[in-house]
Amino acid sequence: MATQKYSVTPQTIETLLTWVKCGEIAIPEIQRPFVWEATKVRNLLDSLYQGYPVGYLIAWRNPSVQLKDGSSAAGKRILIDGQQRVTALMASILGYEVLTEDLLLSEHSLHARCHLQSDRTLERYHS
């Protein structure tokens, strides 16, 4: 019988965002830049608000992996899957600036927190 090489651990969005703020989440060099449109960010927030599942995040610990900024991943959770979702949350909830594939500031960085409003009477988010 093979031993399990991974574990599934449910975490709250609050915990995930705390890891982001503390620099514990890292994006490896191989990940693509942020490419989501504002509607995908809005839909993610709406799904979270409605309590719908938004998929798994896959993180890995490996100190020899090089990160996007050229540093080592020692002591960090390397984001293998879920980078677009985590980046969308960073921009819309925490107000972090996000670079696009053209190395320009994403519209989400400058406007998402101001323009995404919760319309609880309609039970959805809109921009």
pLDDT in tens, 18-54: 998 888 988 887 888 888 888 899 999 999 999 999 9
Cα gap 19→17, rounded to integer Å: 5
Confidence of residue 120 (pLDDT cuts 50, 70, 90): very low
Query: Residue 48: which of 3, 14, 8, 1 has the closest Cα?
Result: 14
Which pTM value belongs to this model?
0.75
The strand pairing partners of 71, in sequence order, are none
Q: What is the mean pLDDT of residues 6-14?
A: 88
Confidence of residue 115 (pLDDT cuts 50, 70, 90): very low
Alpha-carbon dihedral sign for residues 29, 32, 37, 39: negative
Q: Can you list the alpha helix ranges (DSSP code H) found in the chain? A: 13-21, 38-50, 83-89, 107-115
* Burial state string for 52-73 with b = 16 or more CB within 10 A and e = fewer than 16: eeeeebebeeeeebebeeeeeb
Q: What is the mean pLDDT of residues 2-30?
A: 87
pLDDT at 124: 52
Residue 13 has pLDDT above 80, yes or no: yes
| Burial tier of 17 (Cβ tally within 10 Å: 0-12, 13-18, 19+) | middle
Mean pLDDT of the chain: 78
Confidence of residue 121 (pLDDT cuts 50, 70, 90): very low
